[in-house]
């Protein structure tokens, strides 16, 4: 192992830069050359690659996004694109690759592993939809961002006696809505893993009004869809003025939390050590407070499971 490369793929996540920094610095510390690939698998196919040094990753641990740029590559889905990527890795003399991203990025990493490239994956997504790891890099920063936004909405919601539906990201996974909903003290949490209980939402609003409560926050995962339909229903049944806020890509940015910086640093460091050991086809995971590795197959195939205890608890403490 003489030269390794890093790429970031899919939706960016706060903490990716901490992982890039750790990969680059660990590689250099251990006498390896390190290359940065710009814009994910697209950049790999196009040979958009540059050599990194210690300074290339200076002053980035606190920055959201990814200094390498990211993309969801359509070309890499094709056999032609995959063969081209393989050839580029050979042409640049890259012996090992670290892929930072979510599910789709790991599937790409697995394709390269099967072609004989030494690859390690690092889980980065604000969705936390990868069941094999307790948390993905970026998730807790996004939970913070949503929690702060909901606190601000609560201020104005209380002033006007309104209800607020806050739509949060997460694709088909409700984790961001659930964890941020609990953290922000939301009255209702609506996630795709559970049926929409309209009666419970309406009853909570009515009960709250009776005891003089001036706000009602509903955190809704984007995977459920149709927040404006819910708004109409609430206004029709409870007569409470209801606003919809779609937080959107704000949730993907911002300075990473210490947890995500730690995950990025530890996973990046370990990924390079695995490559130096000649290992491949592995994904880094955070399990019960420890950084471990599992096969890329397990990482891709392990379904995400809802934290039922947390969901049930949220019902009890948001009456
Ligand atoms: O996977 C991360 C994520 O932010 C999802 O929560 C969201 O559905 C999607 O990416 C948005 O993708 P894009 O940035 O391509 O619009």
Question: What is the phi/psi pair of residue 54, to 5°?
Answer: -55, -40
Is residue 285 a contact partner of residue 132, using CB atoms and an 8 Å limit? yes
Write down the pLDDT at residue 84.
98
Residue nearest (by alpha carbon) to ligand 1 atom 11: 11
For residue 237, the CA-to-ligand 1 centroid distance in Å is 33
Ligand 1 atom nearest to CA at 176: 6
User: CA-based angle 291:292:293, to the nearest 5?
Assistant: 135
What are the residues facing 292 on neighbouring strands?
Answer: 285
Tokens for 158, please give them.
Answer: 């209380």
For residue 51, what pLDDT band results from cuts at 50, 70 and 90?
Answer: very high
Per DSSP, 125 falls in state -
Half-sphere exposure of 112 (CA within 13 A, CB side): 33
pLDDT tens track for 81-116: 999 999 999 999 999 999 999 999 999 999 999 999
Q: Give start and end residues of each alpha helix (H) in the chain.
A: 16-29, 40-46, 79-91, 103-114, 139-160, 175-183, 198-210, 227-238, 258-276, 296-301, 308-317
- Residue 215 has a pLDDT of 92
Contact 18, 48 (CB under 8 A): no
pLDDT tens track for 52-61: 999 999 999 9
Angstrom distances, CA of residue 184 to CA of 18, 176, 214: 27, 12, 16
Quote the CA–CA distance of 279 and 290 in Å, as a whole number.
19
What pLDDT score does 319 carry? 84
Region 265-291: mean pLDDT is 98
Q: Which atom of ligand 1 is nearest to the CA of 251?
A: 4
Measure 131 CA to ligand 1 centroid, in angstroms: 18
Among protein residues, the one with the nearest Cα to ligand 1's atom 15 is 11
Flag whether pLDDT at 129 surpasses 90.
yes
| pLDDT tens profile 208-254 | 999 999 999 999 999 999 999 999 999 999 999 999 999 999 999 99
Identify which of 130, 143, 169, 178 to mutate to test ligand 1's pocket (most ligand atoms within 8 A of the CB): 169
Q: What is the pLDDT of residue 199?
A: 96
How much is the pLDDT for 9?
Answer: 98
- Indicate if ligand 1 lies below 6 Å from the C-beta of 171: yes
Segment 139-174, tens digit of pLDDT: 999 999 999 999 999 999 999 999 999 999 999 999
Alpha-carbon distances, residue 5 vs 43, 57, 121 (angstroms): 12, 14, 12
3 state DSSP class of 32: coil
- Token pair 């890499």 is found at 76
Question: Which ligand 1 atom lies nearest to the CA of residue 13?
Answer: 2
Ligand 1 mean position, distance from CA 293 (Å):
26
State if residue 146 touches ligand 1 by the CB under 6 angstroms criterion. Answer: no
Confidence class of residue 27 from pLDDT cuts 50, 70 and 90?
very high
Q: How many CA atoms lie within 13 A of 122 on its CB side?
A: 37
The rounded percent of the chain whose pLDDT value lies above 90 is 100
Domains of the chain by range and CATH? 3-138+256-301 (3.40.50.450), 140-252 (3.40.50.460)
Q: Is it the case that residue 80 has pLDDT exceeding 90?
A: yes
11 touches ligand 1 (CB under 6 Å): yes
Calpha distance 308→148 (Å, rounded): 24
């Amino acid at each position: 192992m003489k030269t390794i490369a890093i790429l970031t793929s899919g939706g960016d996540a706060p903490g990716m830069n901490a992982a890039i920094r750790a990969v680059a610095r660990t590689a250099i510390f251990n006498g390896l050359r390190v290359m940065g690939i710009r814009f994910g698998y697209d950049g790999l196919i196009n040979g958009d690659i540059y050599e990194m040094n210690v300074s290339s990753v200076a002053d980035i641990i606190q920055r959201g996004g990814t200094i390498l740029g990211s993309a969801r590559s359509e070309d890499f889905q094709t056999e032609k694109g995959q063969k081209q990527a393989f050839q580029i890795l050979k042409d640049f003399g890259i012996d090992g690759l670290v892929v930072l991203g979510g599910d789709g990025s790991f599937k790409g990493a697995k394709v390269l592993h099967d072609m004989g490239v030494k690859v390690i994956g690092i889980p980065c997504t604000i969705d936390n939809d990868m069941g094999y790891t307790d948390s993905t890099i970026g998730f807790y920063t996004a939970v913070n961002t949503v929690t702060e936004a909901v606190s601000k909405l609560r201020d104005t919601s209380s002033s006007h006696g309104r209800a607020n539906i806050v739509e949060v990201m997460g694709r088909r996974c409700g984790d961001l809505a659930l964890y941020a909903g609990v953290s922000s003290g939301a009255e209702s949490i609506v996630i795709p893993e559970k049926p929409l209980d309209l009666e419970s939402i309406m009853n909570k609003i009515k009960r709250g009004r009776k005891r003089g409560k001036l706000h009602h926050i509903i955190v809704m995962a984007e995977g459920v869809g149709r927040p404006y339909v819910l708004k109409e229903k609430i206004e029709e049944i409870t007569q409470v003025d209801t606003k919809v806020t779609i937080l959107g890509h704000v949730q993907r940015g911002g300075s990473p939390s210490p947890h995500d910086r730690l995950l990025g640093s530890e996973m990046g460091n370990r990924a390079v050590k695995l490559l130096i050991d000649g290992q491949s086809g592995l994904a880094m995971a955070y399990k019960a407070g420890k950084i471990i590795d599992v096969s890329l197959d397990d990482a891709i195939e392990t379904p995400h499971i809802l934290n039922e205890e947390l969901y049930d608890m949220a019902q009890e403490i948001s009456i």
